[in-house]
């Protein structure tokens, strides 16, 4: 029967373990100096060698002819371990044996002496899955076991283990294995297996495994089964449902060139092929990271820089970082949405239609400026102009800075609250939150979440409502009743912008549902204590009738300001200048 690569090439000695130098050195010194601990905790990501090192440690301490921490693999104890017939090494899967009864059975056997070796070793895998009762049953035995007992606990989630258990163990944190170390090991394996594969394909496998050696070997196994001839990088991407750097470069070029149709067709094609859109977005972020590094610290990028520099030369550092933040926020929303494809499409639309067009215009204006002028400290001078004729003029950088602020204000134009407006908005928030939660309707909330995005899509291209629709779609709908909605944003600035557009937002909702709804937005910081009070019933939420049209707050303020300006003009004429 065929044996998978990760089982076939599982390390058998400490020297064969890859990427955990500090841990191996510590364990070797403990064995040689006879300073073994009675309980160990191995933590770290999946597939980095926790269970393998536990087995090697168990084999090493029981080897009858040990040679400098290297098991002989010939004595009775080593042979039993290699054939998985050892009675002195007990492996327990805590995921399926996590009850008090299993731990009590373990406690009843710990006093039994080893049959062939010096120690009886208990390896408890996924130990964080034990119940509270099981941990309590294990506690005393773990603290003071018999001299011939060693416990090795392995887990990927150490924060789920009680502190009373953690404090009784010697902890080792296994790290992710670097891409270069994985490639080096994979190269040796494919050479032994007579497999023909491109170097780029090995590097792609190592990168996609995210530091897990077992994942990389499983991936290599799958790619070998998929292809008959030489394995290429393209086939690795086909098997894993990922994209090549060339494909990602073309995608971001389409964003930069505002080819929205090509961008959306690309996402549609990936979705039809069954690619994981969250994983796809993570690859986009990784690509943008390399673009940013190629612009700021090219020596860190280990891949071919050419493909990244072509994109980097057309974008500023702020443009790249903004896109990274937007795609990262997109991932969080996709995880909590029933329509991840729509969330990704909206993110791409926003970048293609708005942000990247601004970036392109800015990029082109900077290039034109470079052609016409040469920068000098404090002033600008035209090319080929004699030094004696240079003119002192206003600093163009001040004008550029002003233009950038205008662009930013166009994207998020949040008006500052006056004291009266702040009082009114706070009163509005208090009343609408109380009214929503007083008649909270979970069925209505789920219905809104399932239908809202689809219903709002047709308004995205309407210039009158597109900006408020995108606000509704970007927010997180947290509570609903028969006439009220609460929308939450991570940033208070966006929440304020939402509340300044209540009238238009409610008009859109009326058009969609043919029913009047009143909405209010809170920041995440404001929402958390309210949510906790509601869930734990530490506060009573009572319905209150609204007496003020809060959507008119900013409108009335602007009208009042215009009226005051008009009165001043009548009194003083044109000599008045407004700031």
Mean per-residue pLDDT, 106-120: 85
The whole-number pLDDT of residue 555 equals 53
pLDDT exceeding 90 applies to what percent of the chain? 18
Tens-digit pLDDT profile for residues 169-225: 999 999 999 888 999 999 999 999 888 998 889 988 998 888 889 999 999 999 998
Q: What is the distance between the alpha carbons of residues 266 and 251, in angstroms, rounded to a whole number? A: 8
pLDDT band at 542 (very low <50, low <70, confident <90, very high): confident
CA distances from 153 to 332, 535, 563 (A): 32, 36, 75
Q: How many CB atoms lie within 10 A of CB 518?
A: 20
The whole-number pLDDT of residue 394 equals 37
- φ and ψ at residue 395, rounded to 5 degrees: -70, 120
Which residues 6+ apart lie within 8 Å of 489 measured at CB?
474, 475, 476, 495, 498, 521, 522, 523, 524
Mean per-residue pLDDT, 443-465: 79
pLDDT of residue 439 exceeding 50: yes
Tens-digit pLDDT profile for residues 404-417: 334 333 444 555 66
The whole-number pLDDT of residue 30 equals 92
Domain 245-367, what architecture? Up-down Bundle (1.20)
Tens-digit pLDDT profile for residues 35-61: 899 999 999 999 999 999 999 999 999
The whole-number pLDDT of residue 146 equals 86
- φ and ψ at residue 426, rounded to 5 degrees: -60, -40
CA distances from 309 to 138, 339, 361, 442 (A): 57, 34, 19, 50
Pick the residue with more confidence: 554 or 432? 432
Q: What is the distance between the alpha carbons of residues 243 and 86, in angstroms, rounded to a whole number? A: 46
pLDDT band at 366 (very low <50, low <70, confident <90, very high): very low
Would you call 542 helix, strand, or coil by DSSP? coil
pLDDT exceeding 70 applies to what percent of the chain? 82
Tens-digit pLDDT profile for residues 345-355: 988 888 886 54
3-state percent helix, strand, coil for the chain, nearest multiple of 5? 60, 10, 30
Mean per-residue pLDDT, 334-339: 86
Pick the residue with more confidence: 386 or 317? 317
pLDDT of residue 14 exceeding 70: yes
CATH number belonging to domain 179-240 = 1.10.8.60
Indicate the average pLDDT of the chain: 80
Tens-digit pLDDT profile for residues 65-85: 888 888 888 888 888 888 888
pLDDT of residue 576 exceeding 80: no
Pick the residue with more confidence: 558 or 312? 312
The whole-number pLDDT of residue 312 equals 83
The whole-number pLDDT of residue 570 equals 53
Q: How many CB atoms lie within 10 A of CB 476?
A: 17
Tens-digit pLDDT profile for residues 506-536: 888 888 888 889 999 999 889 999 998 888 8
DSSP 128-152: GGS-HHHHHHHHHHHHS--TTEEEE
Q: What is the distance between the alpha carbons of residues 169 and 156, in angstroms, rounded to a whole number? A: 16
Q: What is the distance between the alpha carbons of residues 394 and 378, in angstroms, rounded to a whole number? A: 9
Class in CATH terms, 5-173: alpha beta
The whole-number pLDDT of residue 365 equals 44
Inter-residue contact 17 to 53 (CB < 8 Å): yes
Where along the chain do its domains lie? Answer: 5-173, 179-240, 245-367, 423-557
Q: What is the distance between the alpha carbons of residues 422 and 515, in angstroms, rounded to a whole number? A: 28
DSSP 77-115: HHHHHHTT--SSEEEEETTTS-SHHHHHHHHHHTTSPPS
Q: What is the distance between the alpha carbons of residues 426 and 423, in angstroms, rounded to a whole number? A: 5
Token match 């280990």: residue? 302
pLDDT band at 402 (very low <50, low <70, confident <90, very high): very low
Pick the residue with more confidence: 476 or 568? 476
Q: What is the distance between the alpha carbons of residues 28 and 21, in angstroms, rounded to a whole number? A: 11
Tens-digit pLDDT profile for residues 243-301: 888 888 889 888 888 888 898 999 998 888 888 888 889 989 988 998 888 888 877 77
User: Same CATH fold, 179-240 and 5-173?
Assistant: no
- Pair of tokens at residue 85: 């017939």
The whole-number pLDDT of residue 150 equals 92
The whole-number pLDDT of residue 471 equals 81
Tens-digit pLDDT profile for residues 299-331: 777 666 778 888 888 778 888 888 898 899 999
The whole-number pLDDT of residue 276 equals 86
pLDDT of residue 381 exceeding 50: no
Mean per-residue pLDDT, 555-573: 49
Inter-residue contact 349 to 326 (CB < 8 Å): no
What is the Cα gyration radius of the chain?
A: 32
Inter-residue contact 75 to 64 (CB < 8 Å): yes
């Amino acid at each position: 029967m065929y044996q998978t690569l990760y089982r076939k090439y599982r390390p058998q000695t400490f020297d064969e373990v890859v990427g955990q130098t500090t841990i191996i050195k510590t364990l070797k010194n403990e064995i040689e100096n006879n300073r073994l601990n009675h309980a160990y905790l191995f933590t770290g990501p999946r597939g980095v060698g926790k269970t393998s090192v536990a087995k090697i440690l168990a084999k090493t301490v029981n080897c009858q002819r040990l040679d400098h921490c290297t098991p002989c693999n010939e004595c009775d104890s080593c042979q039993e371990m290699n054939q998985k017939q050892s009675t002195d090494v007990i492996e327990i899967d805590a995921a399926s044996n996590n009850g008090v009864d299993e731990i009590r059975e373990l406690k009843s056997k710990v006093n039994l002496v080893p049959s062939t070796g010096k120690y009886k070793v208990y390896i408890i895998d996924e130990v964080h899955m034990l119940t509270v009762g099981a941990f309590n049953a294990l506690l005393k035995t773990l603290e003071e076991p018999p001299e011939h007992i060693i416990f090795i606990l392995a887990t990927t989630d150490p924060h789920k283990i009680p502190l009373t258990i953690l404090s009784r163990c010697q902890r080792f944190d296994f790290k992710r294995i670097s891409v270069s170390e994985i490639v080096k090991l994979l190269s040796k394996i494919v050479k032994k297996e007579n497999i023909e594969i491109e170097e780029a394909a090995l590097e792609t496998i190592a990168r996609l495994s995210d530091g897990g050696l077992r994942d990389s070997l499983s991936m290599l196994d799958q790619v070998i089964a998929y292809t008959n001839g030489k394995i290429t990088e393209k086939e690795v991407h086909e098997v894993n449902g990922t994209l090549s750097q060339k494909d990602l470069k073309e995608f971001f070029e389409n964003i930069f060139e505002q080819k929205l149709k090509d961008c959306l067709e690309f996402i549609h094609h990936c979705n039809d092929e069954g690619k994981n859109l969250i994983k796809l977005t993570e690859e986009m972020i990784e690509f943008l990271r390399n673009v940013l590094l190629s612009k700021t610290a090219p020596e860190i990028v280990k891949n071919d820089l050419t493909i990244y520099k072509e994109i980097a030369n057309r974008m500023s550092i702020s443009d790249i970082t903004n896109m990274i933040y937007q795609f990262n926020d997109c991932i969080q929303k996709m995880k909590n949405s029933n329509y991840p494809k729509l969330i990704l499409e909206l993110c791409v639309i926003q970048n293609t239609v708005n942000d990247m067009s601004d970036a392109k215009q800015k990029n082109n204006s900077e290039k034109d400026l470079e052609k016409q002028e040469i920068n000098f400290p404090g002033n600008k001078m035209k090319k080929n102009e004699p030094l004696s004729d240079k003119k002192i003029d206003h600093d163009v950088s001040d004008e550029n800075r002003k233009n950038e602020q205008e662009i930013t204000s166009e994207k998020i134009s949040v008006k500052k609250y006056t004291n009266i407006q702040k009082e009114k908005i706070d009163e509005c928030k208090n009343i609408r939150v109380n009214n929503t939660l007083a008649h909270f309707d979970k069925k209505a909330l789920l219905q809104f979440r399932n239908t809202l995005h689809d219903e709002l899509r047709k308004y995205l291209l309407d210039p009158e409502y597109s900006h408020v629709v995108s606000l509704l779609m970007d927010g997180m709908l947290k509570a609903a009743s028969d006439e009220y909605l609460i929308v939450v944003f991570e940033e208070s600035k966006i929440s304020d912008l939402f509340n300044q557009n209540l009238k238009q937002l409610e008009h859109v909702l009326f058009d969609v549902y043919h029913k009047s709804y009143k909405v209010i937005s809170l920041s995440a910081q404001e929402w958390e204590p309210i949510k906790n009070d509601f869930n734990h019933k530490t506060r009573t939420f009572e319905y209150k009738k609204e007496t003020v049209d809060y959507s008119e707050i900013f409108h009335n303020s602007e009208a009042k300001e215009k009226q005051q300006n008009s009165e001043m003009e009548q009194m003083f004429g044109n000599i008045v200048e407004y700031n």
